[in-house]
Structure 1
Amino acid sequence: MSRSTNPPQKNLPLGVLCGAGAGALWGLVFLAPELARDFPPLDLAAGRYLAYGLIALSLIGTRLPVLCRRLHRRDWHGLFWLSFFGNSFYYVMLSMAVQKGGIALTSLVIGFMPVAVTIIGSRDKDAPPFLKLAPSLFFCVIGAFCIGWQALFPAGQTATMGASSLAGLLCACAALASWTGFAVGNSRALARLDHVSSHEWNLLTGLVTGAQALVMLPLALLFDPTTHALSAWGRFATVSIGVAVIASLCGNALWNRMSRLLPLTLTGQMILFETLFALLYGFVWDQRLPRPLEIASFLFIVASVLCCVAAHRKPAMKPLDNTLS
């Protein structure tokens, strides 16, 4: 039986690497609604998280009773809401946003997530002064606008937003608020629960999310009266299991590891990697090269992350200089 160790010390390089890895895996989530477009978002969420829960149950095995004894009622209550807002509700809103508004529009809205998380994290005791974070937030906002400009105004023309695009925008905003709450709450839960490893927390999240998927499953079947072909069900199962393993299991594991290595103000910036990789996968899916504004967005995203890392490095040097002087 493995025992949890003390939380690791802050490690910016390793934390950024874990954040980039999580973003690379999570970016594939934006393609899932396109790969299984025959199925509505509720079906996609139920299938993905049911697979996630079953995989987590098989991996956690006999450790579950031990972990149950380590957690208090407050921890289980928090785990329920983190699973709901970070997985179940978020993925339904994200899938609806992609199907109704498109990948680019959804990426634009989700691209503002680092701003929200960084602003919330700037109140923490170990956070750099807000003025040092301002350049990073500026580049993040400019990059997000570059990402979605061509989606909202194709070919430089002023286009009115249709009902479908408006619905996609509203769903994307709901996903933005949902996952912002998860990112903040999950980071603080991991900081508090030093007797539970990040891997164990990921598996527990999978169990709770899988239980929520059992509730979603009857609703998904009820609101989807369409008769799907056998080949469509096979594709749906493949997408659900693939996203569960790649994004939920592996991506969440990297994110939890990163959350213990980085302060919350820098954690928010790591979400930009999901946006970056989602766009890259979107270009491959559309079989085209990025346009000038999209290339500019890449540069702004990189600048945003680098500025945020620099803002966190400088305060760490001051105590060392004082001890040497």
Structure 2
Amino acid sequence: MFAGVLFALGAGLMWGLVFVAPVMLPGCPPALLTVGRYLAFGLIALPLALMDRRALRELQPADWWEAVKLSAIGNFLYYLTLSAAIQRAGAPLPTMIIGTLPVVIAVCANHRNRVRDGQLPWLKLLPSLALIGTGLALVNRDELAHMQASAGDLRRYAEGALLAVAALACWTWYPIRNADWLRAHSDRSPRAWATAQGLVTGPMALAGLLAVGAMQLAAPGTLMPAGYDFPLGERPLAFIGLMLAIGLCSSWLGTLCWNEASQRLPTSLSGQLIVFETLAALAYAFLWNQRMPPPATLAGIALLMAGVVWALRIKPVKHAG
């Protein structure tokens, strides 16, 4: 349990880096940040595959197909729907919807995996979920106020909400399905499974980059600002360096840590530990901007931490089926 929590913390620290990448490269279009990150992930996975070649050879075609589905839905479809939601409804509404992830995953996994993992008693779990939900609401209070103040096109707003729900569904499905494979293959290396996902992600990212380039030629200004120096922008060294950093840390190392946590923890518990990603993203953003969080955000962070500590004290109860 203790090792699993530490690995979940490591995954959150790594995944939180992704949220400051757009701040560090403010002129870079979201589509290029997405394909750049996963192309770097695929390239980094190539030398890592030499280290894990024996374990990778043990994977069956069904395992590789599972890796393809996890990458396609948990990486590309998630970011595609999320970026489209932000384009239509602005950032506040999708942020609020995606922020419910720890609660949604915990609720889904606690029912779905009750036979395999045991069930966390709902009455004992509710205070933890309530603390996490309240903490997320406080952390996103400024976002919520902005969302209520801005009206805009109702149809685009509704489309953005639906796309954000689709993104939430993708990232709810990914950790649960990924944990299913890891728990069913407890003898397999979590590191090799992270590398396998990188190997299948690379070709998809390359195809995405070619598609973005084709759209830029066919309809300039659709996906990126007019005059953008495709594909590396005005600061090519910064773009390449940042993509390699988050490709290694956020994609490969973050996935590795999450795989290790998923093999050790009930999915209903590990789902709540995704709050570490939110906390890390907040910390990095405030450090980058060199300012202290407002009191409401600090109160939300305290509630998030209290919810996690509460959840860790709950012991699963065996369920007959």
TM-score in terms of structure 1 length: 0.83
Are 1:108 and 2:108 counterparts? Answer: no
Residue 139 of structure 2 corresponds to 147
Residue 255 of structure 1 corresponds to 258
Are 1:28 and 2:8 counterparts? Answer: no
Q: Deviation of residue 90 (structure 1)?
A: 2.2
Looking at structure 2, the residues matched to 32 and 45 of structure 1 have their Cα atoms a distance apart, in angstroms, of 10
Q: What SS class does the counterpart of residue 254 from structure 1 fall into?
A: helix
Residue 290 of structure 2 corresponds to 287
Looking at structure 2, the residues matched to 307 and 285 of structure 1 have their Cα atoms a distance apart, in angstroms, of 31
* 8 Å CA contact retained: 2:28, 2:233: no
What CA deviation, in whole Å up to 9, does each residue of 1:121-159 have, x standing for no partner? 1122212222221111111211121122211215xx951
CA RMSD of the aligned region, Å? 2.6
What CA deviation, in whole Å up to 9, does each residue of 1:3-37 have, x standing for no partner? xxxxxxxxx21111111111111111111122223
Picking from 299, 304, 310, the partner of 2:302 is 299
Residue 40 of structure 1 corresponds to 29
Residue 62 of structure 2 corresponds to 74
Q: Deviation of residue 44 (structure 1)?
A: 1.3
User: Which of 83-92 and 296-305 deviates more?
Assistant: 83-92
- The residue type paired with residue 208 of structure 2 is M
Are 1:173 and 2:176 counterparts? Answer: no
Picking from 232, 236, 240, the partner of 1:237 is 240
Looking at structure 2, the residues matched to 168 and 186 of structure 1 have their Cα atoms a distance apart, in angstroms, of 27
Q: Deviation of residue 114 (structure 1)?
A: 1.2
* 8 Å CA contact retained: 1:26, 1:274: yes
- Count of aligned pairs: 300
Q: Deviation of residue 93 (structure 1)?
A: 4.0
- The residue type paired with residue 117 of structure 1 is I
Residue 132 of structure 1 corresponds to 124
* 8 Å CA contact retained: 1:41, 1:96: no
* 8 Å CA contact retained: 2:7, 2:258: yes
* 8 Å CA contact retained: 1:107, 1:275: no
Q: Deviation of residue 62 (structure 1)?
A: 6.8
Which runs of 5 or more residues in structure 1 are unaligned? 1-11, 317-325
* 8 Å CA contact retained: 1:136, 1:305: yes
* 8 Å CA contact retained: 1:15, 1:258: yes
Residue 188 of structure 2 corresponds to 196
**Pairing 1:302-317 to 2, within 5 Å after superposition:** 302-312=305-315
CA shift in 2, pair 1:139/1:128, >3 Å: same
Q: Deviation of residue 305 (structure 1)?
A: 0.4
* 8 Å CA contact retained: 2:52, 2:192: no
Looking at structure 2, the residues matched to 281 and 183 of structure 1 have their Cα atoms a distance apart, in angstroms, of 23
Looking at structure 2, the residues matched to 272 and 161 of structure 1 have their Cα atoms a distance apart, in angstroms, of 30
Q: Deviation of residue 288 (structure 1)?
A: 2.4
- The residue type paired with residue 167 of structure 2 is A
What CA deviation, in whole Å up to 9, does each residue of 1:262-318 have, x standing for no partner? 1111111110010111112222233322112111110110111011111137x59xx
Q: Deviation of residue 107 (structure 1)?
A: 4.5
* 8 Å CA contact retained: 2:42, 2:201: yes
Which runs of 5 or more residues in structure 2 are unaligned? 221-226
Are 1:160 and 2:163 counterparts? Answer: no
Are 1:58 and 2:61 counterparts? Answer: no
CA shift in 2, pair 1:92/1:37, >3 Å: farther
Identity, in percent, stands at 36
Looking at structure 2, the residues matched to 290 and 134 of structure 1 have their Cα atoms a distance apart, in angstroms, of 28
TM-score in terms of structure 2 length: 0.84
CA shift in 2, pair 1:248/1:24, >3 Å: same
User: Which of 296-305 and 106-115 deviates more?
Assistant: 106-115
What CA deviation, in whole Å up to 9, does each residue of 1:194-238 have, x standing for no partner? 342000000001001112112111112123444428643222212
